Amino acid sequence: MTDLPYSDKMQELAEKWLDNSITDQEKKEFLDWYHQFNDAELLLAPEYRPVIRRLEEEMLINIQKKIAADDLSPPLQKGAVLRRMKWGRVSVAAALILAIAAGALILAFPKNAAQPRIAGRRSLPAAPADVLPGSDKALLTLGDGSTIVLDSANTGSLARQGNTQVLKLADGQLKYKSGSGDDPVAVAYNTLATPRGGQYRLVLPDGSQVWLNAASRIRYPTAFTGHDRRVTVSGEAYFEIAANASMPFRVLVDRGAGEKDPMEIEVLGTQFNMNAYADEAATRTTLLEGSVKLIKGASSGIMKPGQQAQLGEDGAIRWVPGADLEKAVAWKNGVFEFGDEDLQTVMRQIARWYDVEVVYEGKIPEDRFTGRVSRKTSLSGVLKILQLSGIRFTIENKKIMVKS
């Protein structure tokens, strides 16, 4: 295991954070130290879990005290990060306390709650049964209707369609390689679909790159011809579009259910994220670089970098300046990131990534959540964190029962 650099100075800063005597400069120093480590592995080694169990009880007591003192705001500021790191010879207890001090809690309590639900509790509920996180998996449907299960396919050439070769690269991504300019162009349409619990990366014939989130789909030609490049997408996808001013890139957003006048995104060369899940209240397009034009029926508008456009169920486009770009593409970078999200929003993301069903028993809790956690952790690891707010979960046959 990798050792975690540690010093008396860091311990001192942690204690100052806990007793609220730390300065802004000292907070920055501590967080700079804390954030340099890889949080890809969230689950601790088994030999440390009894220690962590006892410390979780101390966490609850500490949280309760902070709520009583109305002192939860610093840990829950934007950017607070949940991390369980790989531990070395450093004291596990000291390191976890540092994590707590650094704002490591993903949970926020109901703003209108007179008393937190954890009051008087000295232990956590048992961890739910485990479910592994999602992984790179997808189904490719070729122009002739045949299918290829990509997660079990060998690397190398998968098929040839016209003058385009379909390749699975060593890193798992799917790539389309066009033949020479003298070859006859025969265009077929392929569909790449990820299941719940899957994600995949695609390089289109023009070199544009697409990342598909879980339960998403993209339909595209094996060669781009004519005056523009057109694809159809449902679910969530992140795009890095190869620039070609003479051939605009167009994304048709498919939310299903026979939607009339689906939204279209016109691109010249840019980076953007599109979230168009049918079970979300709005379609969200977030622009990182370049410019895109949104077209919905008779309405249209040009987006600038840093903006988000939200298409509501009423068909109106709402423009959001100063969008949280990191949050919008967190899934593509391997993390869940929540910014004052309600429980149902959080659980929809969890359901798609772990391929589980979520059922609410009784009143849906009003808790809101802020923070970040790796998508590589198991389901029990994520639910264990959410249980700190007092919400109870049980799992039966990949069904999560949420109990307030």
The CA-CA-CA angle for residues 193, 196, 199, to 5°, reads 55
Answer whether residue 390 shows pLDDT above 80: no
Per-residue pLDDT of 83-136, as tens digits, reads 322 222 233 333 334 344 333 333 333 333 333 333 333 334 454 557 889 999
Task: Concatenate the DSSP letters of all residues of 69-117 into one string.
Answer: TT--TGGGSTT-----PPP-SS-HHHHHHHHHHTT---EE--TT-SS-T
Side-chain-side CA neighbours of residue 332 (13 Å): 21
- Tell me the sheet residues that pair with 399: 357, 396
List the domains of the chain with CATH numbers.
Answer: 8-108 (no CATH), 135-328 (2.60.120.1440), 332-403 (3.55.50.30)
Per-residue pLDDT of 23-70, as tens digits, reads 878 877 766 665 554 443 333 334 434 444 444 455 545 544 544 454
Task: Concatenate the DSSP letters of all residues of 293-336 into one string.
Answer: EEEETTEEEEE-TT-EEEE-TTS-EEEESS--HHHHTTGGGTEE
Nearest Cα residue to 154 out of 164, 166, 144, 162: 166
Per-residue pLDDT of 220-266, as tens digits, reads 999 998 899 999 999 999 999 998 988 999 999 988 766 677 889 99
Contact present, 193 and 210 (Cβ < 8 Å):
no
Segment 353-371 shows an average pLDDT of 90
Q: Which pair of structure tokens corresponds to residue 144? A: 């002739």
Nearest Cα residue to 28 out of 91, 90, 77: 77
Side-chain-side CA neighbours of residue 187 (13 Å): 10
